[in-house]
Structure formats: C-alpha cells, structure tokens
Amino acid sequence: MKNPADTNLMSAATRWLAPPVFEGDEAKTQRASLLNGLILLCLSTTLVVIAGGLVGNNTPAGARLVTVVWFVALLLARRMVHAGKLALVSATLGALLFVVIILASISLGTIRTPTASFFIFWVILVGSLYQVRGIVMATVASSLAILGLILAENSGVLPAPNYTVGVTQWIVSTISFVMAAGAVYFTQYRGQKLLSQAQREAQHRLLADERLREQEQVLQTIIDHVPAIIGSWDKHLINRFGNMAYAQWFAVDPATMPGKHFREVVGEDLYQRNLPYIERVLTGQAQHFERTIPDPYGKCQRQTLTQYVPQLVAGEVQGFYTIVFDVSDLQQAKQTAEAASLAKSQFLATMNHELRTPMNGILGMAQLLVKPQVPESDRMQYAQTILDSGRGLLMLLNDILDFSTVEAGKLALETMAFAPASVVDDINTLFAEVAHAKGLQLEAKWQGPAGVRYLGDPSRLRQMVSNLVGNAIKFTAQGGVRVLATELARQDGFAELVFSVTDSGIGLTTEQQGMLFQSFRQADNSITRNFGGTGLGLSIVSRLAELMGGEAGIESEAGQGARFWFRIRLAVAATLPQPMELAPCATTGADPEPMLPARKRSAKILVAEDNAVNRLVINAVLRNLAHFDLTLNMVENGQQALDFIIQGGAPDVALMDVQMPVMDGLTAVAQIRQWEAAQGKARLPIIALTANAYEEDRQNCFAVGMDDFLAKPLDIGKLEAALGCWLK
C-alpha cells in the first residue's frame, strides 16, 4: 500500500510541473506548455551553475548573487506563464538570459561554463520538440560537449581549472540536464494530455450544446404549430413560456411575453373567471374545464377546453402549465351532426307515414275486392283507389331513388335536343286537372325565343318543374299557380334559362326559407301533418340545378305566397353535335308517343322473368291488350330464353328481366346477339323489363344489345306503345 504522504508529495509535484491549460484557446495553451518547459529547463540549468559555484573556490560572490537572482526570476516567470502573460514572460526571460550570460562570463573569467549551459539549453529546446528520441540525442550531445571542454582544459588547450571542480561540474551538469530533460518531456507529455482532454471535453460540450439547440428548435417548432394554446407559469403567475398561438390569441408580442403576469396577458375579466382554477392547480390539483372566450379578433366567442397541469419539483408545486384547445369547430360539427341525425329521424318517421298511407289504400281496397258479390260500382272504385295509391307509392319511391342517386354522385344527365316550350306545355297538361279540382288557375308559358332547341335532359327538367308545381298546388288553397320559363342570356353557344313557379299560397317566413332545399327537411313539421310529403322534392330540384350548372332559390313572405325558381345553363342545340342515336323505337325517359296498329295484330312474345307474381302480372297484361292478339312463351331465366331462341322458338319480340338466376338477362342478350351474328339471323327486338331503374342500368342494357328499356312497376300504356313500335 502506498504511503499517503508519498502520494500527496507526487500529486503536489505533478501540479507544480504541469503546464497551464487555457480552455477555448488551443494555440495559447501550446505556447504556454512550451514556455513552461523552457522555464523548468532554465531552472535546472541554473541549478548547475549554482552547484558549480558552491563547489568551486574561485567563484566570485557577485556571480553567485546574479545566479540566485536569475533563479528567482525564473520562478516568478513561471507564475506569470500560469497567469497567461506569455509575451511579457518571453521578452523578459530573453533579456535576462543575455544579461546573465555576460555577467557570468565576466565573473568567471571564462566562457566555458556559461557556454556549456547555453548550449545545453538550446539543445534541450530542440530535443524537446522531438519527444524521447530527441531528448536522448540532446543528452548525449551535451554530455560530450561538456566532456570535451573538460578534456580541452586538461590538455592545456584551455586554461585548466581545478580538476575536482571540473569533474564535479560535469557530473552535476549531466544529472541536472537529465532531470531537466525529464521535466521538459513530462511537461510536454502532460500538457498534451491535458490539452487533448480539454479539447475533447470542449468538443463534447459543443456537440451537446448543438444537440440541445437542435432539440429546443424542434420542440419549439412543434409547440408553435400545435393547434392549441400552450404556456408555462411560475407559482407567482409570471409567464415563463408561451407558444405562438398563445401570443397571437391574446395579441401579445412573443418576445416580450415571458415575464408578464397572467392578468396582464389574458386580461382582467378572464383572469378573474379562471382564478379559482389557478388557486386549485397551485395546490397540486390538475384542472379541466370548458370556457368561452373571444377570438383573437373579437368577432365571435370561441368554445375552448382548458387544462391546468401542476409543475412539481421534488414534490413541491413550482408553477403550472396551461393547455387550451379550441373546440368550437368540433362543437359546431357535433351540433350539425345531431341536427342531421334528428332530421333523418324525423324523415324516417315521415317516410313511415307516407309509405303506410298508400299501402293502406292498396291493401284495404284489395281485401274488399276479394269479397264475394262486390257491386260493379264499388269494384271500380276499389280498383281506382288501388291504382291511385300505387302511383303515389311509386312517386315516393322514385323521389327516394333520385335523391339517393344524387347524394351518391351517380346521377348521369342525358344530353338531347329538346324544346323547353314542349316541357312547359307538358306541365300544363299534367297538372291542369289537379289544379281545376282545387279551384285554382294554372298558367304555364314559355317566354323565350320561339322554336329554339337546347341540349339537355328534358326528363329531369320536367321532373324539376313538376316538383315545384306540385308543391305550389299543394300549398295553395285559392288563387292560382303561374309557371314561367325564359332565356336570360346567351354567350359562346350556351344559354342561361330560368324557370319559376309562383303561387298565392301560405308563403314562408325567413327562418323557414333557410331550411328549404336541404335533405330531409321541410319548413315546419306541421307541414307534413297538414299536407304530407317527404321533404325530398326541393332538395332534388336544388341538386339537379347544380348538376346543370345553376342554382335554385325562393322569394317569399309569410301569408303572401311564394316564388320558387331555378336557373340552369344549357348548350344551344346548333352549337354542339347531336347525341348518339338510339334504336328507332328506343324510349328516352319521356312518355313515348303511341304507335298502335289500326287493327289487332298477332305476334309471338317471349317473356323471361324469374318472379312468379311478375309473370302472372305480365301474362294478364299482355293477354288483355286491346290492339294485340299475342301468343306468350314464359321462361324463368336467361338460359331458358337463350335455349328457346337457339332451338327455333322465333319470337317476334322478347321481354327480358335483368336479374335472374342461372343466367342473368345481360349475359343472355349478349349471347343471343353473338348467335345471331354467327348464324346470319335477323336481329330480334329485345325490350328490358326490369326493376333496376337507374340511368346506369339503362345504359348497361343498351350496351349488351337490348333495343328498348321499360322499368317496373309495369306501365301498361308504355308497354303497349313499345310493342306497337317494335311490331309495326
């Protein structure tokens, strides 16, 4: 075990010999290390001179005094090196060294001893730059030089001093030199080690500081862009930090916000309202509450969710953090969603009523019809009621179908040339009897250019006007309904058309007008109770108007009637190519013109229908057509229809359902057309008769080779007209 005293002595010696280290200034540290080594070398060399003077009897007292003064000067110089005064030390030591050499030469009467010392000094200086190898070489060279001087003196070349003095000087000089060389090497090695350690520590600190700055920058960027107000306050309510949202919300400069009191930042009113929560959070209790505060511009009140989180250090509350979320949009979305859910619930209740009403008529009258011995007059009344209820139910289903199609963005508008005057005339014809039954006057006029035709979807346009006219008649008890249509402007081959329906009915308040043209909404729930309806009609009108490049609107006052209008943008027929031509008899959605034979015509009809009830209905309808004497062949799927034709069935017309088991109607028609082409057979007229009533379904039927399209429920008039066309 080492003696503690030895350890303390070595540690003290190490600290005394170690060069100074100046952090952050590598060049200065290197110069100080070298200068410190030179001073230690000079100190050891001076010890040589002092030793020689003490042993020799011929050393003047003045030389000894000068040497001692030089030794003390070196000690002072070393302290100045550690103080960082390197330039002053270098200049002073150089001057003193020169003076000491001169004085020593004068005092001794010879230059051999100071010359040897000076030579040793510079050889050691050069040798110290090359570490161990240089020091060994310098030690050998200086020892040989001193030995040469002694031999020269002994041989008479130089005046011989006392031999004992010379040998003693040589021994002491060599030992001192070795000690000095070791000291220089130690200081150089120790200095480089300390310097390297200081450089590594400084580099690590720089890297750590750089990483810390990067992390702070990333954290600051994230916090500034978080959609929340984030801040930190000490227990005296002095701000320590606030993100950009905090500063912007309360109109405070972010640079000056730290150091401000909570009251100064948020204002007296909000401070007083939040004070109870602040007091509780400073006791260590986290706070969560909602608060309504003005927005940064003072234009409206914003709903916020606020959290106060205590900052604990060693179990003591040192402040708290504030986190405030603006939940106004979420609240609005929640209210909107709740309103939409309520509207849908009300709509479903309305639909339940609207569906059950015609179903009650259908089922009730059907039960009466099956009773025995029903009078003819009652039978006709019951049948008419069933027919009217069924048509009402079909209109309701069509509205729902149209609305769902528009909402899904799947509604495709047709493009064909039509005259709006004919659409207006159709509306007049369609509603004239209904209006007359209520004692209302119905006026419908086209006020645009005579004979002009536009490219658009006349069926959807007729539907839009019909919805408005139907509503106007429904809500008008007396007076009349006026339908006007005109062309407002024309530019670059496109025209802007406006259709308006004006009534003298109950009118609407401003609040009620705001709820119109929305899905599942009517102006008032009492309207459903008093007048019926689903609330989809105006929504469909608005969506169709948007699809046609326009909009819909209303002008009304309560009790003063209303004017509903919509504006659309259509191409003038002469400016665009005509749409793709369909087969000569193909229906386009409008009611077809009857093309009935003058006398009964015999024909063979193939019917492909998988549903037994539908087959029964179609069979009864076809056998009771007044203008045809038909032979019917009924099959239950597409495969049977294909086999019937291939095996020589040779029908005159085929009525084809689309959705059937085994083989659907689309596949069957495609294979029939392939067989006809391969066998060189004439094209068989095939009419789609399906419950798939979307425009997309209609186009799919034409794409595989069908010639016409009829939608279920079956309209006898349209069926008879289609047969009249294809059997002519």
The predicted structure's pLDDT at residue 106: 47
Contacts of 394 by beta carbon, 8 Å cutoff, 6+ apart: 713
For 332-367, letters b (16+ CB in 10 Å) and e give eeeeeeeeeeebeebbeebbeebeeebeebbeebee
CA distance 428 to 443: 7
Confidence of residue 252 (pLDDT cuts 50, 70, 90): confident
Residue located via tokens 């009304």: 556
Element (H, E) at 602: strand 601-608
Helix (H, G, I), strand (E, B) or coil at 91: helix
Q: Are residues 654 and 604 in contact, defined by beta-carbon separation less than 8 angstroms?
A: no
| Dihedral over alpha carbons 466, 471, 473, 475 (to 10 degrees) | 180
Does residue 164 have a pLDDT over 70? no
Element (H, E) at 318: strand 316-326
pLDDT tens, position by position, 295-341: 666 666 778 888 999 998 888 999 999 988 888 777 777 777 777 67
The predicted structure's pLDDT at residue 481: 92
Report the largest interatomic distance among the alpha carbons of the chain, rounded to a whole angstrom.
Answer: 173
The predicted structure's pLDDT at residue 107: 47
Does residue 384 have a pLDDT over 50? yes
Helix, strand, coil shares of the chain, percent, nearest 5, are 55, 15, 25
Roughly what angle, to the nearest 10 degrees, separates helices 86-108 and 61-82? 170
Q: What token pair was written down for 146?
A: 């001193």
The predicted structure's pLDDT at residue 224: 75
CA distance 104 to 410: 115
Q: Return mean pLDDT, the chain.
A: 75
Percent of the chain with pLDDT over 70: 63
Strands 628-635 and 601-608: parallel
Does residue 49 have a pLDDT over 90? no
DSSP, residue by residue, 196-217: HHHHHHHHHHHHHHHHHHHHHH
Residue located via tokens 């000068």: 66
What is the mean predicted confidence (pLDDT) over 651-658?
93
User: Does residue 713 have a cis bond before it (omega within 30 degrees)?
Assistant: yes
Confidence of residue 131 (pLDDT cuts 50, 70, 90): very low
Strands 480-491 and 494-503: antiparallel
Nearest to 146 by CA among 121, 126, 128, 127: 121
The predicted structure's pLDDT at residue 154: 56
What is the mean predicted confidence (pLDDT) over 667-685?
93
Q: What token pair was written down for 693?
A: 């009533």
Q: What is the 3-state secondary structure (H, E, C) of 623-688?
A: HCCCCEEEEEEEECCHHHHHHHHHCCCCCCEEEECCCCCCCCHHHHHHHHHHHHHHHCCCCCCEEE
Confidence of residue 135 (pLDDT cuts 50, 70, 90): low
Nearest to 500 by CA among 562, 592, 565, 550: 565
CA distance 566 to 544: 10
Task: Tell me the torsion sign for CA atoms 86, 91, 93, 94.
Answer: positive
Does residue 596 have a pLDDT over 60? no
What is the mean predicted confidence (pLDDT) over 86-103?
56
CA distance 273 to 304: 14
CA distance 164 to 671: 135
Q: How many CB atoms lie within 10 A of CB 536?
A: 23
For 616-627, letters b (16+ CB in 10 Å) and e give eebbeebeebee
pLDDT tens, position by position, 600-611: 788 999 999 998
DSSP, residue by residue, 281-315: HTTT--EEEEEEEE-TTSSSEEEEEEEEEEEEETT
Confidence of residue 150 (pLDDT cuts 50, 70, 90): low
Confidence of residue 654 (pLDDT cuts 50, 70, 90): very high
Q: What token pair was written down for 57?
A: 């009897």
Helix (H, G, I), strand (E, B) or coil at 500: strand
Residue 453, CB half-sphere, CA atoms under 13 Å: how many?
11
Q: What is the 3-state secondary structure (H, E, C) of 432-494?
A: HHHHHHCCCEEEEEECCCCCCCEEECHHHHHHHHHHHHHHHHHCCCCCEEEEEEEEEEEECCE
pLDDT tens, position by position, 433-450: 888 888 999 999 999 998
CA distance 453 to 422: 10
Q: According to the per-residue pLDDT averaged within each range, which of 164-168, 297-301, 375-379 is highest?
A: 375-379
| Polymer length in residues for the chain | 728
Nearest to 28 by CA among 89, 96, 112, 74: 89
Q: Are residues 689 and 710 in contact, defined by beta-carbon separation less than 8 angstroms?
A: yes
Q: According to the per-residue pLDDT averaged within each range, which of 147-151, 299-303, 504-508, 519-523 is highest?
A: 504-508
Residue 428, CB half-sphere, CA atoms under 13 Å: how many?
16
Q: Which has the minimum average pLDDT: 138-147, 169-178, 635-644, 702-711?
A: 169-178
pLDDT tens, position by position, 178-207: 555 555 555 555 555 655 666 677 778 888
Q: Hey, which residues does 484 pair with through a beta bridge?
A: 445, 500
CA distance 435 to 483: 13
- CA-to-CA separations, 618 to 246, 605, 714, in angstroms, rounded: 74, 11, 8
Q: Which has the minimum average pLDDT: 151-160, 314-323, 426-435, 479-488?
A: 151-160
What is the mean predicted confidence (pLDDT) over 273-289?
91
pTM of the shown model: 0.45
Q: Which has the minimum average pLDDT: 192-201, 359-368, 634-643?
A: 192-201
Strands 316-326 and 301-313: antiparallel
Residue 650 falls in which region: left (phi positive, over 0), alpha (psi -120 to 50) or beta? left
Q: Are residues 286 and 309 in contact, defined by beta-carbon separation less than 8 angstroms?
A: yes
DSSP, residue by residue, 703-721: HHT--EEEESSP-HHHHHH
Does residue 706 have a pLDDT over 90? yes
